[in-house]
Amino acid sequence: MARVVENLGRGGQSFAERVLGWSRPTIRKGLKELLSGQDIIDRFFDRGRNKVEVKFPSLQDQLRRIVEPTGQTDPTFRSTRTYIPLTAKSVRQQLIDRFGYKDAACPCARTISNKLTELDFRPMKVSKCRPFRKIPETDAIFDEVQRINSTADRDPGVLRISLDTKAIVNIGKFSRGGKNRCPTQAYDHDFAPEEKLTPFGILLPDTGKSFLWFSNSKVTADFMVDRLIEVWPKLKELYGPHTLVINADNGPESNGRRTQWLKRLVEFSHEKGVTIQLAYYPPYHSKYNPVERLWGVLENHWRGELLETAEKALGLARSMTYKSIKPSVKMIKKVYKNGVSVVKNEMEKIENKLVRKEGLEKWVIAICP
């Protein structure tokens, strides 16, 4: 194009644009290449505005630290979204207050809203996610749990895990309320299930690594501690923690007054030489427990399937991913005895090894080796 315009002489660019339909900027580019003898490289990646992460590399991590403690799972497990009762404007203000952003330089509320959406957080309140009841200590419990979790996440020597038991899963041709690409016939009545499985999970909120166990028996305090003992060598090898923070929802088998649970944890702490910090979420707020998000992903993963056998349930659990990581899944055949407790005299000795926070004795407990 440049050579043709040169041959046309004076007014060649205007003629080529008018008659041939050539672009004058393209012609000028060709003339520069002709004069220099080198091709001009198109730098499309340099065009437009850079992402906000270029200017603020730690922005996404800071947003997670702000919103994750308040994130709540859909209690119906109809979606895998995490809802946060915060607005983008309030998150922006926390960036200024907590991380030292200047008001003029801090990303605007619209940008923060877009980044929260990219991180799969929805800054909105959902009616079905609001708790039906609160207790007087609810706000104080949340403040203490958030403090413990934030401190744990910043300390490389502290490992935080979240554990919980999912509702019993009936094995059989039962409809799970989902859709399948292939038409599938399910029972239209609640017949007796062929088998019942109780899932128990341990999640590492910081990395997304998870461990799932399925059992035909009741998931008792002994069951939970045995699973913790089972997975501890791997956690010790990977992270080498001196302190273990356990987030739970104060269920009947793992609450702050369950004698057998506390006894086994004291024994575990002494045997492994690790400090244990129990940080329970308040009653009626179990959806804030991070492992609930794992259950939401699992429920949405197998919703359209018929769990006809235990093997199929375990296979679907193995094929799911949470934060792009597949869980470790195992079936436990051992039957655990229900209702095991500790006698009063022995429990008094165990209580001497527990450090309960004043005013929150049932929800914040420390166990030293």
Per residue in 117-144, pLDDT tens? 888 887 665 555 555 578 899 999 999 9
Q: What angle do CA 140, 68, 257 make, to 5 degrees?
A: 45
Q: How far apart are CA 194 and CA 192, in angstroms?
A: 7
pLDDT-derived band at 365, boundaries 50, 70, 90? very high
User: For all residues of the chain together, what is the average pLDDT?
Assistant: 88
The fraction of the chain above a pLDDT of 70, given in percent, is 92
Whether pLDDT at 186 is above 70:
no
**pLDDT at residue number 131:** 54
The fraction of the chain above a pLDDT of 90, given in percent, is 58
Quote helix, strand, coil % in the chain, to nearest 5: 40, 15, 40
Q: Which of 79-88, 93-102, 137-146, 275-284 has the lowest mean pLDDT?
A: 79-88
**pLDDT at residue number 340:** 92
Tens digits of residue pLDDT in 247-261: 998 889 999 999 999
Q: What is the pTM of this model?
A: 0.76
Arithmetic mean of pLDDT, 227-236: 96
Q: How far apart are CA 239 and CA 209, in angstroms?
A: 12
Whether pLDDT at 5 is above 70:
yes
Arithmetic mean of pLDDT, 93-122: 90
Backbone angles phi, psi at 73, to 5 degrees: -80, 150
Across the strands, what pairs with 158? 243
Q: Which of 106-115, 128-137, 277-286, 309-318 has the lowest mean pLDDT?
A: 128-137
* Parallel, antiparallel or unpaired: strands 328-332 and 210-215: parallel
Which one has a higher pLDDT value, 192 or 330? 330
Neighbours of 290 (CB within 10 A): 24
Tens digits of residue pLDDT in 10-23: 889 999 999 989 99
Whether pLDDT at 357 is above 80:
yes
Which one has a higher pLDDT value, 246 or 307? 246
CA-closest candidate to residue 84, choices 123, 54, 132: 123
**pLDDT at residue number 72:** 78
**pLDDT at residue number 87:** 87
pLDDT-derived band at 222, boundaries 50, 70, 90? very high
Which one has a higher pLDDT value, 342 or 37? 342
Whether pLDDT at 83 is above 90:
no
**pLDDT at residue number 183:** 66
Arithmetic mean of pLDDT, 52-73: 87
Q: How far apart are CA 69 and CA 132, in angstroms?
A: 20
- For 50-105, the three-class secondary structure string (H helix, E strand, C coil) is CCHHHHCCCHHHHHHHHHHHHCEECCCCCCCCEEECCCHHHHHHHHHHHHCCCCCC
**pLDDT at residue number 79:** 75
Backbone angles phi, psi at 76, to 5 degrees: -85, -10
Arithmetic mean of pLDDT, 327-338: 94
CA atoms within 13 A on the CB side of 205: 28
Q: What domains are defined for the chain? A: 2-46 (no CATH), 49-130 (no CATH), 133-367 (3.30.420.10)
Which one has a higher pLDDT value, 303 or 59? 59
Arithmetic mean of pLDDT, 92-107: 92
